Amino acid sequence: MGKLALGVAVGVAVATCAVAGVVVGRRLRSRRKWRRVVGVLRELEESCETPVGRLKQVVDAMAVEMHAGLASEGGSKLKMLLTFVDRLPNGLDFLASNLICCPRFVVCFCVVCVVLFVNLLFGFVVRSEIGTYYALDLGGTNFRVLRVQLGGTRSSILSKDVKRQRIPQHLMTSTSEDLFDFITSKLKQFVEQEETVSEAAQSRTRELGFTFSFPVKQISIRSGFLIRWTKGFAIEDMIGCEIIERLQAALMKKGLDMCATVLVNDTVGILALGHYYDADTVAAVKIGTGTNACYMERADAIIKCQGLLTSSGAMVVNMEWGNFWSSHLPRTTYDIEMDMESPNPNDQGFEKMISGMYLGDIFRRVLLRMCEESDVFGPVSSKLLIPFVLEMPLMAAMHEDDTPDLKVVAAILREKLEIQDVPLKARRLVVKVCDVVTRRAARLAAAGIVGILKKIGRDGTGGITGSRSRSDAKMRRTVVAVEGSLYTSYMMFREYLHEALNEILGEDVAQHVVLRTTEDGSCVGAALLAALHSSSSSSSEGLHRRR
């Protein structure tokens, strides 16, 4: 009896030990798996680090590359393209902002009167910024058609009508004929539905600005040749072609009596609109599907185009900063893989770290790696293998999920990526991944902006040579117009960008730098420039060069 009891007791003890062993083993395994997932995050954090010292190196590299791109054709990955925009629209707010900002009211008023008188004399402002103008904006996720009614110098935009539409995916890789047929047919519909346009406006040829946001070699304000596609577009027969000729031919085919007066990049439109509202605007940045920037440069600093004569002594330069590259940029294995698998490897390196088209895919790659390392997220979802499956607005929504149990994250993982029943602590990890990817992007964008300010001597350090010390460099109010959904609709992105800007510049200097959001600048600005360079206005075709 005693032996039996002992046997049972030993049996129970062995069984208990075995069960305990299994449980402990499972726990250990699961802890190991969790540690592996956290390890993926830690590795990501380390390789995405952007301490202010590194950002300052990026600033310097940006300013140096800008110099190199202006010195010679092909001197840098930054193309620093001439735009032939040598003056920017000025509205009534130009007067207002000067009068409000300057304490010496009377002096300022006199200066403004003189400026106005000169403008009147040359017919720059009054004659050209009046009437109804159109714009077509092609270059990102959305295509826009716009009509604005301009009241002239003493008033701003009387009315604005914009129609947005997504570009059908197949047209991005089709033929130029298909693409231009599509955009001109939308324009035709838009014009046919007009009600408010005066008879006078209808009786004359309608003028439009064409915003074409790809690298273009311009030879005048109304003529340019496509260098290459970016942002997922790939229409072979367009490369090297004159863009306005294509557009004009398509307009004619549709029987539209319209004339494309200017060809501009979206950032140039944003700068034009920014300047229309605030004359201290010196640069414009777009952070949407792709990213780019432009700024007003002294003509004599554009060394690669010697003897460039402009009416203002300056010209807007389209940097095509998406193609910026520097060894100081914090690059991860995910960036390298994404780049290698992209249709444009080794190009648009900066854009691939910053803009809406790519951030969602960096996130996807990190999550895929986490799923491969462990089953914290369950079996690997086949959705995670699809490139670009997660769009930026969804990633932003997960990042900004403020529900206590991260419901939004759970829903997006379930519905978009088919990853079910993710535990809360793993959902927190997902938010952290979004944070790391977005924070790096926003901080690099801030460094890019300071790079421009450094190049034009507005960063408080005395410019690229750094010849003056911070204390004796007098800071002028400096406005940068910013557009693009990442900046305008993604609060965390914007906050990180502002934070980095303050860190790099220091508070004393940062207080003089204003980032101003404009709306629809890519097309409204193009229409303003079309007005400024209207065929009925003077001196619109004066500036050009041989191809």
Residue 215 contact, options ligand ADP, Mg ion, none, Cβ 5-8 Å cut-off depending on partner type: none
Token pair, residue 507, equals: 């508070």
Token pair, residue 455, equals: 């190049």
How far is residue 83 CA from its own chain's centroid? Answer: 18
To ligand ADP, the closest distance from the beta carbon of 236 in angstroms equals 22
Q: Name which of 144 and 369 has its Cβ closer to ligand ADP.
A: 144
> Can you tell me which of 34, 54, 115, 141 binds ligand ADP, judged by CB under 6 A?
141
Residues 6+ apart with CB under 8 A from 458: 282, 475, 476, 478, 513
* Residue listed under structure tokens 């393209």: 81
Measuring CA to CA, how many Å separate 458 from each of 18, 312, 326? Answer: 71, 19, 22
To ligand ADP, the closest distance from the beta carbon of 522 in angstroms equals 7
176 makes contact with ligand ADP (CB under 6 A): no
140 makes contact with Mg ion (CB under 5 A): yes
The mark string for 367-406 relative to ligand ADP (x by CB under 6 A, - otherwise) is: -------------------------xx--x----------
The mark string for 274-303 relative to ligand ADP (x by CB under 6 A, - otherwise) is: --------------xx--------------
484 makes contact with ligand ADP (CB under 6 A): yes
Phi, psi of 252 (to 5 degrees): -65, -45
To ligand ADP, the closest distance from the beta carbon of 283 in angstroms equals 17
The mark string for 488-527 relative to ligand ADP (x by CB under 6 A, - otherwise) is: -xx-------------------------------------
DSSP-derived secondary structure letter, 71: H
To ligand ADP, the closest distance from the beta carbon of 233 in angstroms equals 12
Q: Name which of 153 and 323 has its Cβ closer to Mg ion.
A: 323
Give CA–CA dist 64/59, Å, rounded: 9
The mark string for 257-286 relative to Mg ion (x by CB under 5 A, - otherwise) is: ---------x--------------------
Residue 489 contact, options ligand ADP, Mg ion, none, Cβ 5-8 Å cut-off depending on partner type: ligand ADP
User: What is the three-class DSSP state of 401?
Assistant: coil
Residue 50's CB is within 10 A of a number of other CB atoms, namely 22
To Mg ion, the closest distance from the beta carbon of 266 in angstroms equals 5
Q: What is the 3-state secondary structure (H, E, C) of 259-280?
A: EEEEEECHHHHHHHHHHHHCCC
232 makes contact with ligand ADP (CB under 6 A): no
Phi-psi region of 123 (alpha: psi -120 to 50; beta: other; left: phi over 0): left
Residue 485 contact, options Mg ion, ligand ADP, none, Cβ 5-8 Å cut-off depending on partner type: ligand ADP
> Can you tell me which of 89, 131, 139, 215 binds Mg ion, judged by CB under 5 A?
139
Q: Name which of 61 and 444 has its Cβ closer to ligand ADP.
A: 444
Q: Is the dihedral of CA 56, 61, 67, 69 positive or negative?
A: negative
Q: Name which of 98 and 485 has its Cβ closer to ligand ADP.
A: 485
Token pair, residue 131, equals: 């009437």
To ligand ADP, the closest distance from the beta carbon of 300 in angstroms equals 33
Residues 6+ apart with CB under 8 A from 335: 352, 353, 362
> For residues 211-230, which are near Mg ion according to CB under 5 A?
none
Give CA–CA dist 397/406, Å, rounded: 11
Q: Name which of 90 and 485 has its Cβ closer to Mg ion.
A: 485
> Can you tell me which of 223, 485, 518, 540 binds ligand ADP, judged by CB under 6 A?
485
Sheet strands side by side (includes 81-82): 81-82, 314-318, 291-298, 281-287, 478-483, 513-517
Token pair, residue 352, equals: 């691939």
Q: Residue numbers of the site for Mg ion (CB under 5 A)? A: 139-140, 266
Residues within the interface to ligand ADP (CB under 6 A): 139-142, 288-289, 356-357, 392-393, 396, 484-486, 489-490
